[in-house]
Structure 1
Amino acid sequence: MKAKFLAILVVLGIVAAACAPAPTPVVIEKEVVVEKPVVKTVEVVKEVPVEKVVKETVVVEKEVVVEVVVTPTPVPKPPVGPPKVKIGALYCLTGALAEFGEAFRKTGDMAKDHFAEAGFPIEIVVADTETAAIPGVEAARMLVDVEKVHALIGAAASGVTVPIAESVSIPSEVPQISYASTSPLITVLPADEGKDFLFRTCPSDALQGVIMGKLAWDAGYKTAAVLYVNNPYGEGLAEQFKESFEFRGGKVTAMVPHDEAPAPTYVSELRKAAEAKPEVLAAISYPGHATVYLKEAIEGGFFDEFLFCDGTKSVEMPKEVGPEYLAGMFGTAPGALKGASYDVFVAEYMAYYGELPPLPFMTNTYDAITVIGLAAAKCEADGKDITPICIRDNLREVANPPGETITPGPESLKKALDLLKEGKDINYEGAAGSVDFDDAGDVVTPIEIWKYVEEAPYIATERLEMTIPPK
């Protein structure tokens, strides 16, 4: 005998919102087929004396069941609105600095989201510089002429930042903030004299080079050779290192440049650097170069002691070279003050991406985008159009004292927007440290002393140098 029944399945979705009205249920009724096992007893008689065998078999019957599903009416998110400012982001997604590019992009995306949460949406248009001057200039020209961005961040390499400034941003009167270009040339770039369109949120190598020279001397080295990338970054840092090291009594036996484009071998350059048998090789390049020549230096017996900088601070390079060959060797890089601003940045990055920020200049990237966004917000709060000139004029107004301290993160950015609307001053204290632009558009942040270790992620911070020693 068939068993028939009506089953009602109710799925309730409840959306809790503090101020939103209760969602309206939507009822959908449909027929579905459900298989229900029914046990039947069958009697079988065998022709044996006084014996009856009973067997049970299972018969599957199909029944029609009415299923009712109740779903909530979707509650739309509050509209963010159109972007208030358009920022062109020049990232090194390919080329010798490609390892860094995606990290910069992720940091920029987080900054954009923070402004959206704070109620001041921004747009970031990304372009790849290829870590080279000509593609970098072409990318910047596209952002300025086609995308009509209000400001530029980048580039990473000084050898790309300088020609972009000279050919695109300064002639077009668009402010440009580099987050990673450390060449001392940027401080005194003739093209920007009296113009004030070139800024950076990272320190000059006039600072890093001094610390790097001191580090080599304090480590006990008396002689060193330098292998450096032949662009404003490599030239500037190499010269500052040499001056600092020799000021203390050391001797730089060779200064050997190499091309900015990665090459398959650097044996010729290594031979020149090793000719006078110096104790250590200062590797002032990018991972795309140093990965090749470090392996050749070790395998060829040219060097087994190295000194590193920000450009050769890499989580990928030890994997290729062998972490055991680099472990215990030191380097320098722009650092970040460990305080409230840095802690918020790290916590936000962990929440977004599930890892600690792995590479240098990520804090500086966040700061570059943030000061542009805040400068644009001040333009609006003052009743002015958001233009490249207005943003340029307000960078120091939002980043330098006096004013109420603003830190990274959406909550503090929202506070900044409210203060600006009230006509009050703000002072953005960045993830990398104070973003107090001087007359040349430079900032001063700590220099980090770090070293390679054998265990992933292969980099350990030793300390921060807060004061700059004599050259």
Structure 2
Amino acid sequence: MTHQKSKFILDFQKAVALAGIALLGACGRSDPNSSSDEGLKIGTLFPVTGDLAPMGQLIAPTLPLLVDRVNRCGGANGKPVELVSADDETDPNKGNAAMTKLAEVDRVSAVVGGFASSVSQAAVDIAVRNKIMMVSPASTSSIFTERAKKGDFKGFWARTAPSDTYQARALAKLARDKGLKRVSTVAINNDYGVEFEKAFVATFKQLGGIVVNEQKPTRYDPRTVSFNTEAAATFKGKPDGVAAVLYAESGSLFLKAAYEMGLTQNVQLLLADGVKSDDFARQVGKTTAGRFIIEGAIGTAPGADGKALNALTQLWKTKNNTLPGAYVPQTWDAGALLILAAQAAKSNTGEAISKELRNVSGGPGEEVTDVCQGLALLKAGKKINYQGASGNVDIDENGDVSGTYDVWKVGSDGKIEVTDKVSAAK
């Protein structure tokens, strides 16, 4: 064989090998990252920094607490569960990068997250491509239901918080119950804000109300520095109330700008889950008279009324000396379902977890509220039906759950007080 031919064959073999590597990268992992012989590795994708940092920091301790409990009672499939945390910075691009690292470097089998719907939209396709089971405790946009119905997720997506379609209806009904006839809307311009706004407008009109800025809704860019223009547009037309679908950091700047422009007087503020935090009133600030600007604001947010809630509350108080905040129950349930599904499948791969998730969440079997009790029954070959802290978490074919919503208001001390609960029954 000539040297030239030999070189040609070697070059051709290298080219084929490189092409094969590229093809595997393009198609995702051909072998899911975690086999039955390896321990279960779960990633978290939360906004520890950025616009939703106050919410992300509230839920961040949840999974370490759950994993510690699970590992103390023997882990999953006979081995300790490992947790890998990532900060999505409340940014879809950063979330995409963080999810890619979890999939391709950390090689997790499952992810609890994201939080913001826009981040989950960016991350879920990476999860599907790499056969990673993704369960969000807080991404509530109705877009996920629509995409699931199209078959986009192939069973690798679910959430433990109900869709915003139901929350928006609850907020619209709350507005009408308060006697509001003319409202305007303002929403963060992303999947969460826009879809919520549309559902609110449709329901409020059905209930006989008028949406003042329906033809020209106010949708803001979270990177905006000054919100004077958006505030003026929102409060134009002297509405009785303003339905504000906000994130904490940018939303506080918007409401402070509206107050400083003299627009908030005698206008009922209607808020949603993105700002349900005891710190939000402090972020917005106080009036010249020393009162919180958003005192008296009312809102809705996914609530929790599950059979496991009391036990979680007691554990949380013992470990953190506080009550669990918004979305902690949903986060706990997301992690618990992933661990229980792995044990039910007797495999730690994302694909196996995906196939068992709905069975442990709502299939036939003994009802359990404690994750360790569930693991013990599964190890004994029995079937279970997990009853969560947030609710019964029966995940349907689209990855959705029903649930309840808290109705809340901001008190004179700036703290959130839950005043009622409404059902999100479909």
Assess same fold via TM > 0.5. yes
Q: Which residue does the alignment assign to 1:390?
A: 352
Q: Which residue does the alignment assign to 2:63?
A: 108
Aligned residues with identical type, % of pairs: 32
Q: Which residue does the alignment assign to 1:453?
A: 411
Q: Which residue does the alignment assign to 1:259?
A: 221
Following superposition, the deviation at residue 328 of structure 1 comes to 2.3
Q: Which residue does the alignment assign to 1:464?
A: 421
Deviations 1:388-410 (A, max 9, x none): 10010010111113211111xxx
The 8 Å contact of residues 211 and 468 in structure 1, kept in 2 or not, is answered as no
In the aligned structure 1, how far is the partner of 2:425 from the partner of 2:410? 23
The 8 Å contact of residues 209 and 240 in structure 1, kept in 2 or not, is answered as yes
In the aligned structure 2, how far is the partner of 1:265 from the partner of 1:243? 29
Q: Which residue does the alignment assign to 1:39?
A: none
Q: Which residue does the alignment assign to 1:240?
A: 199
Q: Which residue does the alignment assign to 2:19?
A: none
Q: 1:336 aligns with which of 287, 292, 304?
A: 304
How do residues 128-167 of structure 1 correspond to structure 2 at under 5 angstroms? 128-166=87-125
How do residues 186-205 of structure 1 correspond to structure 2 at under 5 angstroms? 186-189=144-147, 192-193=151-152, 195-205=154-164
User: How many positions carry a matched residue from both structures?
Assistant: 375
CA-based RMSD: 1.7
In the aligned structure 1, how far is the partner of 2:418 from the partner of 2:189? 28
The 8 Å contact of residues 225 and 252 in structure 1, kept in 2 or not, is answered as yes
Q: 2:248 aligns with which of 281, 284, 287?
A: 287
Q: Which residue does the alignment assign to 2:402?
A: 444
Following superposition, the deviation at residue 379 of structure 1 comes to 2.1
In the aligned structure 2, how far is the partner of 1:259 from the partner of 1:281? 18
Name the amino acid aligned to 1:307: L
The 8 Å contact of residues 42 and 110 in structure 2, kept in 1 or not, is answered as yes
Q: Which residue does the alignment assign to 1:92?
A: 47
> After TM superposition, where is structure 1 displaced by more than 3 Å over at least 4 residues in a row?
190-194
In the aligned structure 1, how far is the partner of 2:231 from the partner of 2:413? 28
In the aligned structure 1, how far is the partner of 2:38 from the partner of 2:315? 22
In the aligned structure 2, how far is the partner of 1:315 from the partner of 1:460? 9
In the aligned structure 2, how far is the partner of 1:277 from the partner of 1:437? 42
Unaligned runs of 5+ in 2: 1-36
In the aligned structure 2, how far is the partner of 1:83 from the partner of 1:351? 32
Q: 1:324 aligns with which of 292, 297, 310?
A: 292
Q: Which residue does the alignment assign to 2:315?
A: 348
The 8 Å contact of residues 95 and 132 in structure 1, kept in 2 or not, is answered as yes
The 8 Å contact of residues 307 and 391 in structure 2, kept in 1 or not, is answered as no
Greater relative contact order, per chain length (Cα 8 Å cut-off, separation 6+): 2
Give the 3 Å change call, closer, same or farther, for CA 468–434 of structure 1 in structure 2: closer
Larger deviation: 295-304 or 323-332? Answer: 323-332
Name the amino acid aligned to 1:211: A
Name the amino acid aligned to 1:461: V
Q: 1:371 aligns with which of 306, 316, 337?
A: 337
In the aligned structure 1, how far is the partner of 2:187 from the partner of 2:345? 42
In the aligned structure 2, how far is the partner of 1:187 from the partner of 1:397? 19
1:215 aligns with 2:174: yes
Larger Rg: 1
In the aligned structure 2, how far is the partner of 1:256 from the partner of 1:468? 30
Unaligned runs of 5+ in 1: 1-81
Higher helix share: 2
Deviations 1:436-457 (A, max 9, x none): 010000001101101111226x
Report SS of the residue matched to 1:368.
helix
TM-score (norm 2): 0.85
In the aligned structure 1, how far is the partner of 2:244 from the partner of 2:397? 32
